[in-house]
Amino acid sequence: MSKRTATEVLESTGQPYTKASSGGTKRENPIEDEMGEFEDAWEDELESDEEVVDANEENKEDGMDIDEVLPAIEESDEPPQAPEAFIPGRHALGEDEVLEADDSVYIMRHPMNVTWPCLSFDVLRDNQGDERQRFPATAYIVTGTQADTAKNNEVMVLKMSSLHKTQKDGNDSDSDNDNDDDDDALDEDAILEHRSIPHVGGVNRIRAQPLSSYPQASQPYHVATWAETGKVHIWDIRPLLESLDVPGYNLDKTKSRTPVFTINSHGHAEGFAMDWASSGPSSLRLLTGDIHSKIFLTTSTPSGFNALSQPFISHTSSVEDLQWSPQDPTIFASCSADRSIQIWDVRTKGRKSAAGMKAAHESDVNVISWNRTSKHLLVSGGDEGGIKVWDLRNVKQWGTSAPEPSPVASFMWHKGPITSIEWHPTEDSIFAAGGADDQVTLWDLAVEQDDEEAGMVDTPVGEQDVPPQLLFIHQGQKDIKEVHWHPQIPGTVISTALDGFNIFKTVSV
C-alpha cells in the first residue's frame, strides 16, 4: 500500500464541526436615510410656537446638531479569524454552545429523518454506473425499523435523490475552477422516497446479497433481516425498487409482503451477526450468528434456499459479527462477546474454528471488516472503544504453542463502544468507524507521522493527541449504529443513528 505523510493530509479535514453560541442575539442593521431632509421655503411662515427652537439650547450655535467627528476606520489586510474547530476529547461544549457543521470541508452533506429509528441498513447496487462523480447524485439503501410495537415495523427501500453539492463560501479556492452555469453546486434539499413491507418484530440487522452489477429484470434481489423474534427472513426487494423507478409500475403487495424463505435454525434466540457471500447469481451463502454463540449456514440452489441444521460452535458467548473471506469462498471470520476473533473453514468436520485471536480486545469484540483489496487485513472494533488492525497471516492456529498475535495497528480514540467498522471498497488503507460516542471517523493507515512536524506541536497536558492516521471526524448524529461506504459513488459515506440518516462526502477521501 502507498504511504502518505501527515503533512499531505489537509489540515481542515478532521475538523468538520465548529462551536457556535446558541444564546446570542441578532444585531439589528442601522437604517440609513440616503435622501436626507428637504427644506421648505415657506416653512418659517407656517412654524408654530412649539416648533421654534432656542438657538442657545444646549449651548449649540444656530440650534444645529454638530456631528461628532470619528477617526477613520483603517482597513486591515488580515483575514477574519477562523472559527475554532471542535475536537472530541480535547474540547467540551459549554451550556450555551452547540455544534455547527463547517460545510467547507464537505463536498456533499445531507441529513435525513425517518419515522422510526433504523439501526441497520445496507447500500443497494443500482444501474446508474460506477465511479460516479457528478451531482446531484442518487443512492438507494435498504433498512429496517425499530418501532414502538412489533406490528409497526417495516423493511424499507429508500431512494435518496437530488443529493446536491454542499454550498461553499466565496473564499473557496476551487470556486474559480467550477462551472458557474452548472447547477450541480447548488445546495438544495434532498428528496427521500420509500417503499415498504411489513416486518414482525424490530430489525436487528439487515444485509443485501452481494452483486457485481445490477440484476436483470428477471432476477431477484435478495435481502436478509435478523428479527428480534429469533427468525431470519429472506425477501425479494426487486419489486420495491422497480416501483420507485418505473412510472406506472403495479406493485403486487400480496406477493412482495411474503418472505421468500425463513430460517428457523436459531429457535427463539435473538441475533445480530449476518453476512452474505456469492459464488454466482444462483449460488448464495448466508451466515447468521445468535446470542447463544451458534452460527448457522444457509445456502441457495436454483430451486430455493436450504438451511443447514448443524451449527458452528467454538465461541462461548454472543456472536456479534460475521465476515466471509473476499478471497476464499469457504473461509469466514467471526467476533464475539467472549473477546475473541476466530477463523473458520466450512469444510472442517465438527464445525470448529481453526485459528484466531483469543484476547483480541479488552472487552466484547463488536464488529469486524475484511479488507477487500489487501485480503490478509482484518480490522476490528471493541466495546472499550478500541480499533485494531490484524494481519491474518499471523493468526494463531489452535492447539499450537505459538504466541498470541499482536495487531499491526491499534487506536484508542473513540470514547464509547465501536458499533460499526468498514474498509473502503477500493482503497486498501482507508476505513470508516462509527461509535456510540456520536462520532464517525475516517482513517488512513498509509499516513505516517512527520517527526519534525510532531516536535513542533505541543499538546497540552491532559489533552488527547490526534493520531496522524485520523483523517476526518463527522459529528452531529446521536448514538451512531452503522456506517457504510457507497461502492458506486467514490468517497461517499452513509451512517444511521437514533435520529436518522446522514449521507456525506468529505474533502479528505
> Measured between alpha carbons, how far is 501 from 159 in angstroms, rounded to an integer?
12
User: Coil, strand, or helix at residue 62?
Assistant: helix
347-366 pLDDT per residue, tens: 988 899 999 999 999 999 99
Q: What is the pLDDT of residue 30?
A: 44
Counts of helices then strands in the chain (DSSP H, E): 4, 33
Residue 14 lies in a domain: no
Judged on CB neighbours under 10 Å (0-12, 13-18, 19+), 248 is exposed
Please choose, from the candidates 485, 504, 473, the residue with its C-alpha nearest in 3D space to the C-alpha of residue 164. Answer: 504
Residue 454 has a pLDDT of 52
This prediction has a pTM of 0.81
Write out the residue range of the structural domain in which residue 315 sits.
2-6+85-169+187-506
In a domain, residue 350? The reply is yes
Locate cell 456506517: which residue? 483
**Domain annotation covers residue 229:** yes
Closest CA to 13 of 409, 445, 442: 442
Q: Which of 310, 369, 363 is nearest to 336 (CA)?
A: 363
| Alpha-carbon span 245 to 191, nearest angstrom | 14
Count of residues in the chain: 509
174-188, 224-238, 338-352, 477-491: which has the minimum mean pLDDT? 174-188
* CA within 13 Å, CB half, 252: 7
Q: How far apart are CA 383 and CA 353, in angstroms?
A: 23
Using alpha carbons only, give the angle 94, 477, 441 rounded to the nearest 5 degrees.
Answer: 95
Domain assignment present for residue 58? The answer is no
Residue 18 within any structural domain of the chain: no
- Residue 84 in contact with residue 15, Cβ under 8 Å? no
DSSP 365-432: EEEEEE-SSSTTEEEEEETTS-EEEEEGGGPEETTS-PPPP--SEEE---SS-EEEEEE-SS-TTEEE
Q: Residue 260 — very low, low, confident or very high, per pLDDT cuts 50/70/90?
A: very high
Asked if residue 341 belongs to a domain, the reply is: yes
Cα–Cα distance, 366 to 370 (Å, whole number): 14
Q: Within a domain: residue 62?
A: no
Check whether the bond before 198 is cis (ω within 30° of 0): no
In tens, the pLDDT along 132-185 reads 999 999 999 999 999 999 999 999 999 999 999 986 544 544 444 444 444 454
CATH number at residue 411: 2.130.10.10
Average pLDDT, the chain: 83
Question: 365-391, pLDDT tens digit by residue?
Answer: 999 999 999 889 999 999 999 999 999
pLDDT of the residue at 108 = 95
Residue 262 lies in a domain: yes
High-pLDDT (> 70) share of the chain, %: 74
* Residue 186 confidence class, pLDDT cut points 50, 70, 90: low
* 320: nearest Cα among 333, 342, 337: 337
Number of domains in the chain: 1
